[in-house]
Amino acid sequence: MSDTTRQELLERVKEQSVAFINLQFTDILGMVKTVTIPIEELPDALDHGVWFDGSSIEGFARMVESDMYLVPDPSTYSLIPWDQHAGLSTARFICNIYTPDGTPFTADPRHVLTSVLGQAAELGYGFHVAPELEFFLFHRDGVQQTTPLPHDNASYFDVSTDQATLIRRQMVRALRGMGIVTEAAHHEVAAGQHEIDLRVTEALRAADHTVTARVALKAIAQINGLYATFMPKPLATVNGNGMHVHQSLVDLATGQNVFFDPDDPYGLSPIARHFIAGLLAHARGMCVILAPLVNSYKRLVPGFEAPIYISWGRTNRSALVRVPRITNGRNQSTRIELRCPDPSCNPYLAYAVMLAAGLDGIKRKLSLREAAEEDLFHIDPRARGLAMLPSSLGAALDALREDEVIQAAIGPNVYERFVDAKQLEWESYRSYVSQWELERYLPIF
Protein backbone atom coordinates (compact mmCIF):
# COMPACT_ATOMS: atom_id res chain seq x y z
CA MET A 1 0.00 0.00 0.00
CA SER A 2 1.37 3.40 -0.93
CA ASP A 3 1.87 6.08 1.70
CA THR A 4 -0.66 8.24 -0.15
CA THR A 5 -3.37 5.57 -0.04
CA ARG A 6 -2.69 4.90 3.63
CA GLN A 7 -2.92 8.57 4.54
CA GLU A 8 -6.08 9.07 2.47
CA LEU A 9 -7.75 6.18 4.28
CA LEU A 10 -6.80 7.48 7.72
CA GLU A 11 -8.09 10.93 6.84
CA ARG A 12 -11.29 9.46 5.46
CA VAL A 13 -12.15 7.43 8.56
CA LYS A 14 -11.48 10.50 10.69
CA GLU A 15 -13.81 12.66 8.56
CA GLN A 16 -16.52 9.99 8.79
CA SER A 17 -16.14 9.66 12.59
CA VAL A 18 -15.55 5.92 12.35
CA ALA A 19 -15.09 4.24 15.72
CA PHE A 20 -14.70 0.58 14.72
CA ILE A 21 -13.39 -1.38 11.75
CA ASN A 22 -14.68 -4.80 10.70
CA LEU A 23 -12.01 -6.91 9.01
CA GLN A 24 -13.96 -9.34 6.85
CA PHE A 25 -13.10 -12.60 5.09
CA THR A 26 -14.86 -15.87 4.22
CA ASP A 27 -14.21 -19.50 5.04
CA ILE A 28 -14.14 -22.11 2.27
CA LEU A 29 -17.92 -22.57 2.51
CA GLY A 30 -18.49 -18.86 1.90
CA MET A 31 -19.57 -17.92 5.41
CA VAL A 32 -18.56 -14.37 6.31
CA LYS A 33 -16.17 -14.02 9.26
CA THR A 34 -15.25 -10.75 10.95
CA VAL A 35 -12.64 -9.44 13.36
CA THR A 36 -13.52 -6.03 14.82
CA ILE A 37 -10.81 -3.58 15.88
CA PRO A 38 -11.13 -0.08 17.37
CA ILE A 39 -10.20 2.73 15.01
CA GLU A 40 -7.00 3.40 16.96
CA GLU A 41 -5.64 0.04 15.73
CA LEU A 42 -6.24 0.75 12.04
CA PRO A 43 -2.78 2.23 11.26
CA ASP A 44 -1.08 -0.88 12.61
CA ALA A 45 -3.55 -3.14 10.76
CA LEU A 46 -2.78 -1.37 7.49
CA ASP A 47 0.96 -1.63 8.07
CA HIS A 48 1.28 -5.12 9.55
CA GLY A 49 -2.07 -6.93 9.31
CA VAL A 50 -4.01 -8.55 12.15
CA TRP A 51 -3.18 -12.02 13.42
CA PHE A 52 -5.88 -14.65 14.04
CA ASP A 53 -6.24 -18.37 14.76
CA GLY A 54 -7.03 -20.12 11.48
CA SER A 55 -7.62 -23.50 13.13
CA SER A 56 -11.02 -22.25 14.32
CA ILE A 57 -12.21 -21.41 10.78
CA GLU A 58 -13.97 -24.01 8.61
CA GLY A 59 -11.46 -25.64 6.30
CA PHE A 60 -8.60 -23.25 6.97
CA ALA A 61 -5.86 -24.97 8.92
CA ARG A 62 -4.98 -27.67 11.37
CA MET A 63 -3.92 -26.79 14.91
CA VAL A 64 -0.20 -27.06 14.11
CA GLU A 65 -0.43 -24.47 11.33
CA SER A 66 -3.05 -22.15 12.79
CA ASP A 67 -1.30 -18.76 12.86
CA MET A 68 -2.16 -16.45 9.96
CA TYR A 69 -2.98 -12.81 9.48
CA LEU A 70 -5.45 -10.56 7.70
CA VAL A 71 -4.32 -7.80 5.35
CA PRO A 72 -7.04 -5.24 4.52
CA ASP A 73 -7.64 -4.50 0.83
CA PRO A 74 -7.83 -0.66 0.72
CA SER A 75 -10.15 -0.73 -2.31
CA THR A 76 -12.86 -2.50 -0.28
CA TYR A 77 -13.21 0.18 2.41
CA SER A 78 -16.83 1.10 3.07
CA LEU A 79 -19.05 2.44 5.81
CA ILE A 80 -21.66 -0.05 6.97
CA PRO A 81 -24.92 1.87 6.36
CA TRP A 82 -27.01 0.00 8.95
CA ASP A 83 -24.36 0.28 11.66
CA GLN A 84 -24.07 4.05 11.99
CA HIS A 85 -24.57 5.46 15.49
CA ALA A 86 -23.48 8.67 17.12
CA GLY A 87 -19.81 8.21 17.96
CA LEU A 88 -19.93 4.47 17.17
CA SER A 89 -19.96 4.28 13.37
CA THR A 90 -18.47 1.13 11.82
CA ALA A 91 -16.67 0.61 8.52
CA ARG A 92 -15.30 -2.53 6.94
CA PHE A 93 -12.43 -3.85 4.83
CA ILE A 94 -12.40 -7.16 2.98
CA CYS A 95 -9.11 -8.86 3.71
CA ASN A 96 -6.62 -11.19 2.08
CA ILE A 97 -5.12 -13.90 4.25
CA TYR A 98 -1.41 -14.57 4.67
CA THR A 99 0.71 -17.17 6.43
CA PRO A 100 3.48 -16.24 8.91
CA ASP A 101 6.16 -16.30 6.18
CA GLY A 102 4.30 -13.57 4.27
CA THR A 103 2.90 -15.73 1.46
CA PRO A 104 -0.80 -15.81 0.47
CA PHE A 105 -2.77 -18.54 2.21
CA THR A 106 -3.70 -20.98 -0.57
CA ALA A 107 -7.00 -21.98 1.07
CA ASP A 108 -8.21 -18.35 1.14
CA PRO A 109 -11.15 -18.34 -1.31
CA ARG A 110 -10.28 -14.81 -2.42
CA HIS A 111 -6.77 -15.99 -3.28
CA VAL A 112 -8.21 -18.91 -5.26
CA LEU A 113 -10.18 -16.53 -7.48
CA THR A 114 -7.22 -14.17 -7.81
CA SER A 115 -5.05 -17.07 -9.00
CA VAL A 116 -7.48 -18.14 -11.73
CA LEU A 117 -7.90 -14.52 -12.81
CA GLY A 118 -4.11 -14.43 -13.15
CA GLN A 119 -4.26 -17.41 -15.49
CA ALA A 120 -6.83 -15.59 -17.61
CA ALA A 121 -4.65 -12.47 -17.64
CA GLU A 122 -1.74 -14.51 -18.99
CA LEU A 123 -3.97 -15.29 -21.99
CA GLY A 124 -4.88 -11.60 -22.28
CA TYR A 125 -8.38 -11.86 -20.81
CA GLY A 126 -10.27 -10.18 -18.01
CA PHE A 127 -13.34 -11.89 -16.55
CA HIS A 128 -16.52 -9.91 -15.88
CA VAL A 129 -19.60 -11.24 -14.11
CA ALA A 130 -23.00 -10.02 -12.94
CA PRO A 131 -25.00 -12.17 -10.48
CA GLU A 132 -28.77 -12.18 -10.02
CA LEU A 133 -29.50 -12.81 -6.34
CA GLU A 134 -32.81 -14.46 -5.45
CA PHE A 135 -34.01 -14.68 -1.86
CA PHE A 136 -37.12 -15.12 0.27
CA LEU A 137 -38.45 -12.77 2.93
CA PHE A 138 -40.13 -14.70 5.74
CA HIS A 139 -41.86 -13.61 8.91
CA ARG A 140 -39.61 -14.23 11.90
CA ASP A 141 -40.50 -17.05 14.28
CA GLY A 142 -37.94 -16.45 17.00
CA VAL A 143 -34.18 -16.72 17.31
CA GLN A 144 -33.95 -19.89 15.20
CA GLN A 145 -35.76 -19.37 11.88
CA THR A 146 -37.40 -22.77 11.24
CA THR A 147 -40.86 -21.90 9.88
CA PRO A 148 -40.87 -20.54 6.30
CA LEU A 149 -43.90 -18.22 6.29
CA PRO A 150 -43.73 -15.88 3.24
CA HIS A 151 -44.00 -12.16 3.90
CA ASP A 152 -46.50 -11.65 1.04
CA ASN A 153 -48.62 -13.47 -1.53
CA ALA A 154 -47.37 -11.62 -4.60
CA SER A 155 -45.87 -13.14 -7.74
CA TYR A 156 -43.58 -12.14 -10.60
CA PHE A 157 -43.37 -8.35 -11.06
CA ASP A 158 -46.57 -7.83 -9.04
CA VAL A 159 -47.25 -4.37 -7.61
CA SER A 160 -50.51 -4.26 -5.67
CA THR A 161 -49.78 -7.36 -3.57
CA ASP A 162 -46.04 -6.79 -3.19
CA GLN A 163 -45.55 -5.76 0.42
CA ALA A 164 -41.77 -5.51 0.20
CA THR A 165 -41.38 -2.72 -2.36
CA LEU A 166 -40.04 -0.27 0.21
CA ILE A 167 -37.86 -2.92 1.82
CA ARG A 168 -36.18 -3.72 -1.51
CA ARG A 169 -35.58 0.00 -2.02
CA GLN A 170 -33.90 0.13 1.39
CA MET A 171 -31.76 -2.81 0.33
CA VAL A 172 -30.76 -1.16 -2.94
CA ARG A 173 -29.89 2.07 -1.13
CA ALA A 174 -27.79 0.19 1.44
CA LEU A 175 -25.91 -1.57 -1.35
CA ARG A 176 -25.25 1.69 -3.15
CA GLY A 177 -23.99 3.14 0.11
CA MET A 178 -21.35 0.39 0.03
CA GLY A 179 -20.39 1.07 -3.57
CA ILE A 180 -22.49 -1.70 -5.11
CA VAL A 181 -24.58 -0.71 -8.12
CA THR A 182 -27.78 -2.65 -8.77
CA GLU A 183 -29.41 -2.89 -12.18
CA ALA A 184 -32.87 -4.04 -11.09
CA ALA A 185 -34.91 -5.21 -8.14
CA HIS A 186 -38.29 -6.93 -8.33
CA HIS A 187 -40.62 -9.52 -6.88
CA GLU A 188 -39.97 -13.06 -8.11
CA VAL A 189 -42.36 -15.89 -9.01
CA ALA A 190 -43.00 -17.38 -5.58
CA ALA A 191 -44.81 -15.71 -2.68
CA GLY A 192 -42.27 -13.86 -0.55
CA GLN A 193 -39.52 -14.28 -3.16
CA HIS A 194 -37.43 -11.41 -4.52
CA GLU A 195 -34.51 -10.72 -6.84
CA ILE A 196 -31.82 -8.04 -6.90
CA ASP A 197 -29.45 -7.92 -9.87
CA LEU A 198 -25.94 -6.54 -9.46
CA ARG A 199 -24.24 -4.60 -12.25
CA VAL A 200 -21.48 -6.33 -14.19
CA THR A 201 -17.96 -5.76 -12.91
CA GLU A 202 -14.57 -7.47 -12.70
CA ALA A 203 -14.92 -10.90 -11.11
CA LEU A 204 -12.99 -10.29 -7.87
CA ARG A 205 -14.97 -7.16 -7.18
CA ALA A 206 -18.17 -8.98 -8.14
CA ALA A 207 -17.40 -11.72 -5.61
CA ASP A 208 -16.79 -9.08 -2.92
CA HIS A 209 -20.12 -7.48 -3.88
CA THR A 210 -21.97 -10.81 -3.78
CA VAL A 211 -20.76 -11.61 -0.27
CA THR A 212 -21.52 -8.06 0.88
CA ALA A 213 -25.00 -8.15 -0.65
CA ARG A 214 -25.93 -11.32 1.22
CA VAL A 215 -24.94 -9.70 4.52
CA ALA A 216 -26.64 -6.40 3.68
CA LEU A 217 -29.93 -7.92 2.59
CA LYS A 218 -30.15 -10.00 5.75
CA ALA A 219 -29.41 -6.93 7.88
CA ILE A 220 -32.06 -4.76 6.21
CA ALA A 221 -34.62 -7.56 6.48
CA GLN A 222 -33.90 -7.90 10.19
CA ILE A 223 -34.34 -4.17 10.71
CA ASN A 224 -37.80 -4.59 9.19
CA GLY A 225 -38.66 -7.51 11.45
CA LEU A 226 -38.23 -10.10 8.69
CA TYR A 227 -35.85 -12.94 7.86
CA ALA A 228 -34.07 -13.03 4.48
CA THR A 229 -32.87 -16.42 3.34
CA PHE A 230 -30.71 -17.51 0.41
CA MET A 231 -31.50 -21.17 1.08
CA PRO A 232 -31.89 -22.75 -2.37
CA LYS A 233 -35.22 -24.51 -1.75
CA PRO A 234 -36.99 -23.48 1.47
CA LEU A 235 -40.46 -24.36 0.12
CA ALA A 236 -41.06 -27.65 -1.70
CA THR A 237 -43.94 -26.59 -3.97
CA VAL A 238 -42.59 -23.34 -5.46
CA ASN A 239 -39.50 -22.10 -7.28
CA GLY A 240 -36.24 -22.09 -5.38
CA ASN A 241 -33.57 -19.41 -5.08
CA GLY A 242 -31.08 -19.34 -7.93
CA MET A 243 -28.11 -17.11 -8.62
CA HIS A 244 -27.88 -16.85 -12.40
CA VAL A 245 -24.42 -15.54 -13.30
CA HIS A 246 -23.89 -13.46 -16.46
CA GLN A 247 -20.28 -13.62 -17.64
CA SER A 248 -18.01 -12.41 -20.40
CA LEU A 249 -14.34 -12.06 -21.29
CA VAL A 250 -12.69 -8.78 -22.24
CA ASP A 251 -9.42 -8.11 -24.00
CA LEU A 252 -7.12 -6.61 -21.36
CA ALA A 253 -5.24 -4.60 -23.98
CA THR A 254 -8.26 -2.98 -25.65
CA GLY A 255 -11.07 -3.43 -23.12
CA GLN A 256 -13.25 -4.91 -25.87
CA ASN A 257 -15.69 -7.75 -25.30
CA VAL A 258 -14.22 -10.83 -27.01
CA PHE A 259 -17.48 -12.81 -26.97
CA PHE A 260 -19.11 -10.81 -29.81
CA ASP A 261 -19.16 -11.82 -33.48
CA PRO A 262 -21.65 -10.01 -35.79
CA ASP A 263 -21.54 -12.85 -38.34
CA ASP A 264 -22.61 -15.57 -35.92
CA PRO A 265 -26.35 -16.44 -35.63
CA TYR A 266 -26.14 -16.07 -31.85
CA GLY A 267 -23.68 -13.16 -31.99
CA LEU A 268 -21.00 -15.36 -30.43
CA SER A 269 -17.32 -15.38 -31.34
CA PRO A 270 -15.34 -18.63 -31.58
CA ILE A 271 -13.84 -17.77 -28.18
CA ALA A 272 -17.33 -17.49 -26.68
CA ARG A 273 -18.34 -20.82 -28.18
CA HIS A 274 -15.23 -22.51 -26.79
CA PHE A 275 -15.94 -20.90 -23.41
CA ILE A 276 -19.51 -22.24 -23.36
CA ALA A 277 -18.25 -25.67 -24.43
CA GLY A 278 -15.88 -25.59 -21.45
CA LEU A 279 -18.73 -24.75 -19.08
CA LEU A 280 -20.76 -27.65 -20.43
CA ALA A 281 -17.80 -30.05 -20.32
CA HIS A 282 -17.17 -29.28 -16.65
CA ALA A 283 -20.78 -28.67 -15.56
CA ARG A 284 -20.96 -31.85 -13.52
CA GLY A 285 -17.51 -31.43 -11.99
CA MET A 286 -18.09 -27.87 -10.81
CA CYS A 287 -21.73 -28.34 -9.79
CA VAL A 288 -20.96 -29.00 -6.12
CA ILE A 289 -19.09 -25.69 -5.92
CA LEU A 290 -21.99 -23.80 -7.55
CA ALA A 291 -24.77 -25.68 -5.73
CA PRO A 292 -23.08 -26.79 -2.50
CA LEU A 293 -25.89 -27.91 -0.18
CA VAL A 294 -27.99 -31.04 0.19
CA ASN A 295 -30.90 -28.66 -0.30
CA SER A 296 -29.45 -27.30 -3.57
CA TYR A 297 -30.45 -30.47 -5.41
CA LYS A 298 -34.09 -30.06 -4.43
CA ARG A 299 -34.03 -26.88 -6.52
CA LEU A 300 -32.46 -28.59 -9.54
CA VAL A 301 -35.56 -30.65 -10.38
CA PRO A 302 -38.10 -30.48 -13.25
CA GLY A 303 -40.91 -27.95 -13.24
CA PHE A 304 -39.40 -25.01 -11.34
CA GLU A 305 -37.41 -23.10 -14.00
CA ALA A 306 -34.09 -24.56 -12.87
CA PRO A 307 -31.76 -26.42 -15.26
CA ILE A 308 -31.34 -30.18 -15.17
CA TYR A 309 -29.81 -31.01 -18.53
CA ILE A 310 -26.39 -29.91 -19.74
CA SER A 311 -27.37 -27.80 -22.73
CA TRP A 312 -27.31 -24.26 -24.09
CA GLY A 313 -29.66 -22.01 -26.02
CA ARG A 314 -31.17 -18.54 -26.29
CA THR A 315 -34.94 -18.75 -25.89
CA ASN A 316 -34.78 -21.90 -23.79
CA ARG A 317 -34.86 -21.09 -20.09
CA SER A 318 -34.59 -24.76 -19.19
CA ALA A 319 -31.05 -24.76 -20.62
CA LEU A 320 -28.00 -24.72 -18.37
CA VAL A 321 -26.33 -21.93 -20.34
CA ARG A 322 -28.42 -19.20 -21.96
CA VAL A 323 -27.28 -16.54 -24.44
CA PRO A 324 -29.31 -13.39 -23.70
CA ARG A 325 -30.29 -11.17 -26.62
CA ILE A 326 -28.55 -7.81 -26.79
CA THR A 327 -29.78 -4.47 -28.09
CA ASN A 328 -28.47 -3.42 -31.49
CA GLY A 329 -25.37 -1.31 -31.05
CA ARG A 330 -24.58 -2.67 -27.57
CA ASN A 331 -22.14 -5.35 -28.65
CA GLN A 332 -20.07 -4.89 -25.50
CA SER A 333 -23.00 -6.41 -23.59
CA THR A 334 -22.58 -9.81 -25.25
CA ARG A 335 -22.54 -12.38 -22.47
CA ILE A 336 -23.62 -15.84 -21.46
CA GLU A 337 -25.72 -16.79 -18.43
CA LEU A 338 -25.05 -19.85 -16.28
CA ARG A 339 -28.26 -20.89 -14.51
CA CYS A 340 -27.35 -23.71 -12.10
CA PRO A 341 -25.59 -21.73 -9.30
CA ASP A 342 -27.54 -20.82 -6.20
CA PRO A 343 -26.84 -18.05 -3.67
CA SER A 344 -25.62 -20.43 -0.96
CA CYS A 345 -22.35 -20.90 -2.86
CA ASN A 346 -19.02 -19.32 -2.04
CA PRO A 347 -18.84 -16.71 -4.85
CA TYR A 348 -15.03 -16.62 -4.87
CA LEU A 349 -14.84 -20.34 -5.56
CA ALA A 350 -17.87 -20.27 -7.86
CA TYR A 351 -16.49 -17.56 -10.15
CA ALA A 352 -13.09 -19.25 -10.09
CA VAL A 353 -14.38 -22.61 -11.34
CA MET A 354 -16.63 -20.99 -13.97
CA LEU A 355 -13.64 -19.15 -15.38
CA ALA A 356 -11.39 -22.21 -15.20
CA ALA A 357 -13.96 -24.30 -17.06
CA GLY A 358 -14.36 -21.66 -19.76
CA LEU A 359 -10.61 -21.20 -20.16
CA ASP A 360 -10.18 -24.95 -20.53
CA GLY A 361 -12.67 -24.85 -23.38
CA ILE A 362 -10.67 -22.06 -25.03
CA LYS A 363 -7.30 -23.74 -24.54
CA ARG A 364 -8.53 -27.05 -25.96
CA LYS A 365 -10.74 -25.33 -28.58
CA LEU A 366 -13.69 -27.48 -27.56
CA SER A 367 -16.49 -27.57 -30.11
CA LEU A 368 -19.99 -26.50 -29.11
CA ARG A 369 -22.87 -28.78 -29.96
CA GLU A 370 -26.08 -27.50 -31.53
CA ALA A 371 -28.24 -25.28 -29.33
CA ALA A 372 -31.30 -26.83 -27.66
CA GLU A 373 -34.13 -24.32 -28.05
CA GLU A 374 -37.10 -26.54 -27.18
CA ASP A 375 -38.40 -26.93 -23.62
CA LEU A 376 -36.35 -29.85 -22.34
CA PHE A 377 -38.95 -30.65 -19.70
CA HIS A 378 -41.43 -31.68 -22.41
CA ILE A 379 -39.21 -33.86 -24.61
CA ASP A 380 -37.00 -36.88 -24.07
CA PRO A 381 -33.52 -35.34 -23.68
CA ARG A 382 -31.98 -38.76 -24.16
CA ALA A 383 -33.01 -38.51 -27.81
CA ARG A 384 -30.71 -35.48 -28.05
CA GLY A 385 -27.92 -37.15 -26.14
CA LEU A 386 -28.00 -34.63 -23.29
CA ALA A 387 -26.31 -35.49 -20.02
CA MET A 388 -27.79 -34.41 -16.69
CA LEU A 389 -26.46 -32.41 -13.79
CA PRO A 390 -25.88 -34.42 -10.61
CA SER A 391 -29.13 -35.17 -8.79
CA SER A 392 -27.73 -35.11 -5.27
CA LEU A 393 -24.88 -33.69 -3.23
CA GLY A 394 -23.30 -37.15 -3.14
CA ALA A 395 -23.37 -37.48 -6.92
CA ALA A 396 -21.97 -33.95 -7.28
CA LEU A 397 -19.07 -34.80 -4.97
CA ASP A 398 -18.31 -37.87 -7.07
CA ALA A 399 -18.31 -35.70 -10.21
CA LEU A 400 -15.84 -33.28 -8.63
CA ARG A 401 -13.56 -36.18 -7.71
CA GLU A 402 -13.39 -37.03 -11.43
CA ASP A 403 -12.70 -33.50 -12.72
CA GLU A 404 -9.02 -32.60 -12.51
CA VAL A 405 -9.50 -29.16 -14.11
CA ILE A 406 -11.91 -28.03 -11.38
CA GLN A 407 -9.74 -29.59 -8.69
CA ALA A 408 -6.74 -27.65 -10.00
CA ALA A 409 -8.76 -24.42 -10.11
CA ILE A 410 -9.57 -24.47 -6.40
CA GLY A 411 -6.22 -25.98 -5.41
CA PRO A 412 -5.42 -29.09 -3.34
CA ASN A 413 -5.95 -27.46 0.06
CA VAL A 414 -9.43 -26.15 -0.71
CA TYR A 415 -10.32 -29.33 -2.59
CA GLU A 416 -9.42 -31.59 0.32
CA ARG A 417 -11.13 -29.49 2.96
CA PHE A 418 -14.21 -28.70 0.87
CA VAL A 419 -14.80 -32.35 -0.05
CA ASP A 420 -14.32 -33.45 3.56
CA ALA A 421 -16.85 -30.90 4.83
CA LYS A 422 -19.41 -31.73 2.15
CA GLN A 423 -18.97 -35.48 2.54
CA LEU A 424 -19.82 -35.12 6.23
CA GLU A 425 -22.91 -33.09 5.30
CA TRP A 426 -23.99 -35.74 2.80
CA GLU A 427 -23.46 -38.62 5.22
CA SER A 428 -25.36 -36.78 7.96
CA TYR A 429 -28.28 -36.21 5.57
CA ARG A 430 -28.31 -39.82 4.37
CA SER A 431 -28.63 -41.13 7.91
CA TYR A 432 -31.35 -38.66 8.97
CA VAL A 433 -34.91 -40.00 9.22
CA SER A 434 -37.19 -37.22 7.92
CA GLN A 435 -40.79 -36.42 8.77
CA TRP A 436 -41.70 -37.36 5.19
CA GLU A 437 -40.40 -40.90 5.75
CA LEU A 438 -42.24 -41.27 9.04
CA GLU A 439 -45.52 -40.09 7.54
CA ARG A 440 -45.17 -42.29 4.46
CA TYR A 441 -43.81 -45.50 5.90
CA LEU A 442 -44.55 -45.78 9.65
CA PRO A 443 -48.30 -46.36 9.30
CA ILE A 444 -47.98 -49.16 6.73
CA PHE A 445 -44.80 -51.08 7.49
- Identified catalytic residue from 139, 186, 205, 317: 317
For residue 195, indicate whether it is catalytic: yes
Which of 189, 186, 185 has the alpha carbon at shortest distance from 155? Answer: 189
The DSSP secondary structure of 283-351, one letter per residue, reads HHHHHHHHS-SGGGGGTSSTTSS---B--EESS-TTSSEE-----TT-GGG--EEE----TTS-HHHHH
Annotation marks residue 214 as catalytic? no
State the catalytic residue, choosing from 92, 244, 273, 282: 244
- Active-site residue, 122 included: no
pLDDT tens sequence for the chain (445 residues): 676 788 999 999 999 999 999 999 999 999 999 999 999 999 999 999 998 887 767 666 554 457 889 999 999 999 999 998 877 899 999 999 999 999 999 999 999 999 999 999 999 999 999 999 999 999 988 777 667 888 888 777 667 666 788 999 999 999 999 999 999 999 998 999 999 999 999 999 999 999 999 999 999 999 999 999 999 999 999 999 999 999 999 999 999 999 999 999 899 999 999 999 999 999 999 999 999 999 999 999 987 889 999 999 987 778 899 999 887 778 788 999 999 999 999 999 999 999 999 999 999 999 999 888 776 666 666 667 789 999 999 999 999 999 999 999 999 999 999 999 999 999 999 999 999 999 999 999 9
Q: Is 132 a catalytic residue?
A: yes
Instruction: Note the pTM of the prediction, 2 decimals.
Output: 0.95
Whole-number pLDDT of residue 378: 63
Where does residue 142 rank: exposed (0-12), middle (13-18), buried (19+ CB within 10 A)?
exposed
DSSP for residue 38:
E
Active-site residue, from 108, 162, 195, 403: 195
DSSP string, 101-122: TSPBPTT-HHHHHHHHHHHHHH
CA neighbours within 13 Å on the CB side: how many for 205? 17
pLDDT at 84: 86
What are residue 68's DSSP bridge partners?
52
**Tens of pLDDT, residues 67-97:** 889 999 999 999 999 998 877 899 999 999 9
Active site residue 41: no
Closest to 132 measured CA to CA, from 191, 200, 72, 76:
200
Catalytic residue among 134, 208, 360, 403: 134
Catalytic, 15? Answer no
252-306 per-position pLDDT tens digit: 999 999 999 999 989 999 999 999 999 999 999 999 999 999 999 999 998 788 9
Calpha distance 262→259 (Å, rounded): 10
Out of 339, 342, 360, 417, pick the active-site residue: 339
Please say if 205 is a catalytic residue. Answer: no
